[in-house]
Amino acid sequence: MYSRHASATAAAAAADRLRTCIEGFVFSWEQRSYTISASIGVVLLADAMSLKELFAHADAACYLAKEAGRNRVHVYAEDDAAVIHRLGEMEWANRLREALRDDRLVLDYQELRPLQSSATDGAHVELLLRLKAEDGSIVLPGAFLPAAERYGLMPLVDRWVVETVLANLDRIHPQGAGLASCALNLSGASLDDDVLVGRIEQLIAKHGIAPQRLVFEITETVAIRNYIASGAPIARLRELGCRVALDDFGAGMSSFGYLKNLALDMVKIDGSFVQHLAHDPMSQSIVKAVTEIGHQQGLAVVAEWVASQEMVELLASMGVDYAQGFALHRPERAVFQR
């Protein structure tokens, strides 16, 4: 009778022979030769209590084989931290699909407060996504959005947000139709979705929305990763009259050239530079530089994660236009979902 270790070794060896056979196959098509590779996940029957669990473990092991460089075998182990993390993400992806199906996504808004007397009147908000769990508790996006990105669910999430917000724009904030601007986040996957911008145009016309009230936020890392591809949808959104903000500026390997070359209306300074502003000269220099260059480009500058009145006063003295954070306003549920 095989031990568990011997069984796992034999299964891995069989999988590797299969992988080698696939790797050695070459086929020709239209005067060109092609090779194939396979990423294989291996799991023992003894490591699963049900068929569903067995396939979940195999799927996780297969993904890890691909992430390790492809064309390899990964054997599932109960104490494998990477597999445990992957299974957790798979579970969140399933829960997010169910929440979309059952209409259990909710929106909170957080106000941006003007710091300069020249700021536009009216409330300005950013919408924050939440998931209502089966037991009614509220789950913050850090728990489920990484899984949504990994499993290709972000276009569905973004489409739900766009459809819901534009249908209820005057019922998000207590000011109703007096809401000056509403910011929505768009993922990198949605920037590649040609249909989404067209749908935004349809919804603006359908609901009679003044497009300048809509601000679409794109993170710096997404803008840089998709620099060429993101330019066209950003331009289309601005042609519609909407505004576009570069979010989390400074979080990645930033270049101020992106502020010059991307067609933007607003830049949001990453909170990691704001939270230590009072005592960190380097953070102060970065915030001052972003503010000055942003203003030279005609951009409004927003500081995130503002946690104290001391920060508010310091940011105002630096010329930052808006501040956002718990010191000014804690997120509240959108009026139409209360």
Q: Write out pLDDT tens, residues 9-32.
A: 888 889 889 988 988 888 888 888
**pLDDT above 60: residue 159:** yes
Poorest-pLDDT segment among 64-73, 144-153, 158-167, 169-178? 64-73
Mean of all residue pLDDT scores within the chain? 87
Q: What is the C-alpha end-to-end distance of the chain, expressed in Å?
A: 62
**pLDDT above 70: residue 1:** no
138 token code pair = 């509220």
Residue with tokens 């407060």: 113
Handedness of CA 287, 290, 294, 300 (dihedral sign): negative
Whole-number pLDDT of residue 336: 97
Whole-number pLDDT of residue 3: 66
**pLDDT above 50: residue 303:** yes
**pLDDT above 60: residue 45:** yes
Whole-number pLDDT of residue 225: 62
Q: Is 152 left (phi over 0), alpha (psi -120 to 50) or beta?
A: left
**pLDDT above 60: residue 252:** no
304: number of Cβ within 10 Å: 22
**What is the number of alpha carbons within 13 Å of residue 243 lying toward its C-beta?**
19
**pLDDT above 90: residue 302:** yes
Split at pLDDT 50, 70, 90, the class of 118 is low
- Length of the chain measured in residues: 338
Span 85-112, pLDDT tens digits: 666 778 888 899 999 999 999 999 999 9
Q: What number is the average pLDDT over the span 308-332?
A: 95
pTM score: 0.76
**pLDDT above 50: residue 166:** yes
Cα–Cα distance list, 94 to 53, 71, 87 (Å) = 13, 27, 11
Poorest-pLDDT segment among 47-51, 194-198, 263-267? 47-51
